[in-house]
Amino acid sequence: MLSFFKDYKIFAIVFTIVSIIIVSIIYNTLNVYQPLPIYQPTMVQPELVDSTLHYKKKYHKIADFSLTNQNGKTITQEDYKDKIYVADFFFTTCPTICPIMTKNMASIQKDILNDDEVMLLSHSVTPEIDTVVQLKRYAIKKGVNDKKWNLVTGDKKQIYELARKSYLAVKEDGDGGPFDMIHTENFMLIDKKRQIRGFYDGTSPEEIERLLDDITILKQE
């Protein structure tokens, strides 16, 4: 009788171990990789999207652009061709959320510094103030690496149109007129096909961690 219970105990232990292994294998098999969503205008809060795009359900991409960076270089989509990048909108004289956003963007820069697939792009929403000289001064102060991160200025209407019609990033309806002012804490993750793959609160450390995780996921595609 004692031998039977001893044998049963050993069987129970072996069975438990085998069961755990089998369950783990099944879990890992079923836990299929889930790609990030491809954001379309109809998937975003309507107030963040230009009214001309409220109907659009597919094929949304970041439009072509031509802007000037902190070194006076013209920056276009060609500079981001075949790159994953994080985009935001800021201004150098902002006393509120911009310093936090810039600090967090610098943190991302540190993480991707040796990653040739990933870059950063920050658009000034006060281009009349943020000249090349001002952007360069700000870039040096904030530790911007010119090879990884472009701070861009240029035509105000183009920048505002990018914010509303491409990045789906801001609530204000301003079209870049002299008295218009838009701003957002959003960071946008853009893939190599110029598609939006994520929105993040650029002032939140937790959101920055989520963004970095999503970059890793995106690189697996």
Residues 19 and 76 in one domain: no
Cα dist. 186→2, 60, 171 in Å? 68, 18, 11
Residues 12 and 65 in one domain: no
> Would you say 60 is a known binding-site residue?
no
Residues 49 and 10 in one domain: no
> Would you say 94 is a known binding-site residue?
yes
Residues 127 and 150 in one domain: yes
Q: Answer whether residue 15 shows pLDDT above 70.
A: no
Residues 142 and 191 in one domain: yes
Q: What is the pLDDT of residues 20-54, one digit of tens each?
A: 666 454 444 444 568 999 999 999 988 888 888 98
Residue 188 is predicted with a pLDDT of 98
Residues 25 and 49 in one domain: no
Q: What is the pLDDT of residues 59-69, one digit of tens each?
A: 999 999 999 99
Residues 70 and 135 in one domain: yes
Residues 70 and 106 in one domain: yes
Residues 15 and 117 in one domain: no
Residues 105 and 198 in one domain: yes
Residues 99 and 195 in one domain: yes
Domain extent, residue 78, equals 41-219
Count of domains in the chain?
A: 2
- The pLDDT > 90 percentage for the chain reads 72
83 closest CA partner among 110, 55, 112, 103: 112
Residues 205 and 181 in one domain: yes
Distance between CA atoms of 88 and 199, rounded to whole angstroms? 10
Q: What is the pLDDT of residues 144-179, one digit of tens each?
A: 999 999 999 999 999 999 999 999 988 755 554 444
What's the CATH number where 100 sits? Answer: 3.40.30.10
> Would you say 98 is a known binding-site residue?
yes
Q: What are phi and psi of 210, to 5 degrees?
A: -65, -40
